[in-house]
Chain A
Amino acid sequence: MPDTAPKIIRRSALDGHRHVGDFGTIKGGVPGIVIQERRALSIVHLDAWADQVVACGKAIEKACGTAPAADPVKASEKNDTTVLWVGPNRWLIVEPESRDLFATLSADVTDDLATLTDQGHSRVCWRITGPNMRDLLAKGSTIDFDQSQFIPGDCVGTLLSHFTTVLHCRGDDTVDIYAARSFAVDLDHWLTSSSLEYGLWVLEPA
């Protein structure tokens, strides 16, 4: 092994497949959909022992500044950290890659509270914004995306087209979509081609 490791850049599943630019029928210069990949994320899957959920929540708060939301199908956020509910006593903790999230969490969330699994390379995340965000999602999922029903903070696991996804509602017209890396190219194609009628901007990854 050489002493100085070469600079290694993470290669997203979409690298080489992303088409940045304006597409489809953009009306009045305003796209109905804006798509941007959120890349180089740290993601840790956390599965709490059923009798340690409260203590585990506190440990997560200590490590990340925010405890998981009290209710299922909800996300919590603080600064750059998002805690996504993905099942009973199970969460994905997501941050833009900056610190060793797995090690940080491991320090506070000990074996007797939960198991931790590094999933930082397993998911691709798209941020979708725009007035047609809900129309786009309705093409693929049977969730009720009405503004009164799918509200900021909601975090639902669902089938979007063929793809198993987690949809994190972040605003009236903003959603983060998480999906398995191996499906990313196909899902990206579905998202972009389904957006053409609304007019689409694809941005460089954030």
Chain B
Amino acid sequence: MLRLTCPHCGPRDQVEFNYGGDATVAVPDLAADEQTWFDAVYIRENPRGPHTEFWQHVAGCRQWIRIKRNTQTHEILAYGAATGPMSDDPTGNGGTDK
């Protein structure tokens, strides 16, 4: 079971989170055309290796967060809040280990 670092609460077990999909795809502007929305909704890379994904800390602070995870090894490479820069300290020792 993965140990994910919530940037708000610290490292927690995977059971506290819901997977939230590919974080490299941006939701288009509402006025964007059909093709742009089609690509955003359906087209995915499915990489083998590092991948940034959304998770939501549903059992804790309810925040959407980003986790950079190696899909091949399950190694956690970085984490971050819903927006803004990500930290590359995967253990989150900067935070509180709760």
The answer to whether any beta carbons of A and B sit under 8 Å apart in the complex is: yes
In the complex, A42 Cα to B13 Cα: how many Å? Answer: 31
B16 touches A158 (CB 8 A): yes
Chain B residues with Cβ below 8 Å from A142 are: 12-13, 15-16
A73 touches B98 (CB 8 A): yes
What 1/0 flags go to A148-167 for Cβ under 8 Å of B? Answer: 01100010111100001000
In the complex, A33 Cα to B39 Cα: how many Å? Answer: 56
In the complex, A158 Cα to B96 Cα: how many Å? Answer: 14
A159 touches B61 (CB 8 A): no
- The interface size of chain A toward B, counting residues with CB under 8 Å, comes to 18
> With A72-B8, A73-B10, A158-B12 given, is the CB distance from A144 to B97 under 8 Å?
yes
What 1/0 flags go to B1-38 for Cβ under 8 Å of A? Answer: 00000001110110110000000000000000000000
Chain B residues with Cβ below 8 Å from A158 are: 12, 16, 59-60
Give me the interface of A with B, judged by CB distance under 8 Å: 71-73, 86-88, 90, 142-144, 149-150, 154, 156-159, 164
In the complex, A179 Cα to B58 Cα: how many Å? Answer: 14
A87 touches B63 (CB 8 A): yes
B96 touches A164 (CB 8 A): no
Q: Is B62 an interface residue (CB 8 A)?
A: yes
Chain B residues with Cβ below 8 Å from A149 are: 97-98
Most chain A CB within 10 A, of B15, B63, B96, B98, is at: B98
B97 touches A88 (CB 8 A): no
B98 touches A88 (CB 8 A): no
> With A73-B10, A142-B12, A142-B15 given, is the CB distance from A164 to B98 under 8 Å?
no
A144 touches B98 (CB 8 A): yes
